[in-house]
Amino acid sequence: MQSPIDHRPGAQIHGRAVFPHAHLTGISGLQPHEILFLLDEAEQWIEANRTRAKSDHRLDGLTQINAFFENSTRTLLSFEIAGKRLGADVVNMHAAQSSVKKGETLIDTAMTLNAMRADVIVIRHMSSGAVQLIADKVDCPVLNAGDGSHEHPTQALLDALTIRRRRGSIAHQRVVICGDILHSRVARSNILALTALAAEVRVVAPSTLMPAAIEKMHVTPFTDFDAALEGADVVMMLRLQNERMSGAFIPSTREYHLNYGLTPERLARAKPDALVMHPGPMNRGVEIDSSVADMPGRSAITEQVEMGVAVRMACLDVLTRKARGVEGWA
């Protein structure tokens, strides 16, 4: 017989006590139950987004500014759709294309956005730590949409949600992350989120793209992709940036594909039902073969995109609850 008392962490606390953070600058600093809370919150939006009438009005009258200092198509679009479906007035600031130069006027930009009374700011920036710098200066919640090689927390949340829905659980899943671990904020946030939720994480990269002391983040590093794939539940491929493919870090895309490309033969080393993931955009034929990327029942790549909107809706909702005076959060 089930106990009448729910002993799960966070189960008996409500409102702000369950998620006491003003901003979402990274997975670092979040407790496992706080990560699970955001995933649980995202669940409701998955079904809602699949219906014809997708609009909600909880963010009516609030202004969401997406300040992107680095080019992005899908993340920006995902945040824009998420905000609009909640009723927010969404404004995009393409700082990467404007005269805002690297770092120089970042604090000034933050103060400007603050003076315009933004209710929530979503930031992407090419420098690690830039989002925290802005979060310290503004009065409204700040969401990190990727800062340098540091963190990309909503990507990790949507990946965790995808894994949980497809595999039933995150705990004890063997997740293999392969690619440019050195420069990847997606890898860092995923490592933090998945290890916090008790997954077994393996990271795979040539030594030139593997950060030092990565094992201190409670993962097992591999240079041999085939060995790492043995018994994998999830294979997460990372995008290789063009500028790193032609000699600086690896000799060529051809050679990268030879050692680290996810082919159907390689995938066969993982569990028969292993999930294939990629944060996009993909370099088909480089880090992942088309036949794998499009493999029915195995590839979760488009589902990741879908989960992205739901997760971002949940984050926007949760972070603005205090300002909206939601009971238990104000």
Partner 1 sequence: MKLTFRNARLVCPEGGERSGDLHVADHEIVADAPDGAQLIDCGGRILAPALIDLGVFAMDKAACRAGGIARIGLMPDQSPVLDGPGLVQRAADMGKPELWVHPIAAATRGLAGENLAEFATNAEAGARAVSTGRGWIADSGVMRRVLAYARDCGLTVIAHAEDSGLAGHAVATEGETATRLGLPSAPAIAEALAVARDLMLAEQTGAAIHFRQLTTAAAFDLIRAARARGVAVTCGVTPAHLLLSDINVTDFRTFARLSPPLRDESDRQAVLNALADGTIDILCSGHDPQGPEEKRLPFADSTPGMAGAETLLALGLGLVRDDRLTLPRLFALLARNPAKLLGIEAGTLAPGMPADLVLIDPDAPWQINSDRMAGKAGNTPFDGLPVQGKALRLFKGGSEIG
Q: Are 156 and 192 in contact (CB under 8 A)?
A: yes
Can you tell me which of 31, 114, 127, 259 binds partner 1, judged by CB under 8 A?
Answer: 127
Residue number, 158 or 214, with CB nearest to partner 1: 214
Alpha-carbon torsion 219, 220, 225, 230, what sign?
A: negative
Cis peptide before 296 (omega within 30 of 0): no
Instruction: Tell whether 58 is in a known binding site.
Output: no
Instruction: Tell whether 328 is in a known binding site.
Output: no
Of 237, 246, 235, 224, which Cα lies nearest the Cα of 283? 237
Can you tell me which of 113, 178, 209, 214 binds partner 1, judged by CB under 8 A?
Answer: 214
Q: Which amino acid is at 38?
A: L
Using CB under 8 A as the binding rule, whether residue 132 contacts partner 1 is answered as: yes
Instruction: Tell whether 216 is in a known binding site.
Output: no
Distance (Å, rounded) from C-alpha 68 to C-alpha 128? 14
Number of residues near partner 1 (by CB under 8 A): 27
Beta-carbon contacts of 172 under 8 Å, excluding residues fewer than 6 positions away, are 198, 199, 200
Choices 34-42, 73-81, 92-100, 123-131 (CB under 8 A): range interacting with partner 1: 123-131
Q: Are 267 and 229 in contact (CB under 8 A)?
A: yes
State in angstroms the smallest separation of the CB of 211 from partner 1: 4
> x/- binding map, residues 38-67, to partner 1, per CB under 8 A?
------------------------------
Using CB under 8 A as the binding rule, whether residue 125 contacts partner 1 is answered as: yes
Can you tell me which of 128, 220, 253, 259 binds partner 1, judged by CB under 8 A?
Answer: 128
Q: What angle do CA 99, 132, 308 make, to 5 degrees?
A: 85
Instruction: Tell whether 296 is in a known binding site.
Output: no
Q: Are 147 and 158 in contact (CB under 8 A)?
A: no
Using CB under 8 A as the binding rule, whether residue 114 contacts partner 1 is answered as: no
Instruction: Tell whether 12 is in a known binding site.
Output: no
Using CB under 8 A as the binding rule, whether residue 213 contacts partner 1 is answered as: yes
Q: Are 324 and 58 in contact (CB under 8 A)?
A: yes
Using CB under 8 A as the binding rule, whether residue 248 contacts partner 1 is answered as: no
Using CB under 8 A as the binding rule, whether residue 151 contacts partner 1 is answered as: yes
Can you tell me which of 81, 96, 100, 217 binds partner 1, judged by CB under 8 A?
Answer: 217
Using CB under 8 A as the binding rule, whether residue 142 contacts partner 1 is answered as: no
Distance (Å, rounded) from C-alpha 263 to C-alpha 267? 6
State in angstroms the smallest separation of the CB of 111 from partner 1: 11
State in angstroms the smallest separation of the CB of 133 from partner 1: 6
State in angstroms the smallest separation of the CB of 31 from partner 1: 17
Q: Are 249 and 209 in contact (CB under 8 A)?
A: yes
Beta-carbon contacts of 118 under 8 Å, excluding residues fewer than 6 positions away, are 63, 64, 65, 138, 140
Alpha-carbon torsion 135, 28, 38, 21, what sign?
A: negative
Can you tell me which of 20, 61, 103, 231 binds partner 1, judged by CB under 8 A?
Answer: 103
Using CB under 8 A as the binding rule, whether residue 149 contacts partner 1 is answered as: yes
DSSP count for the chain of H helices, then E strands? 11, 9
Please give the residue ranges that form the binding site for partner 1 (CB under 8 A). 28, 102-104, 106-107, 125, 127-130, 132-133, 147-151, 183, 185, 188, 211-214, 216-217
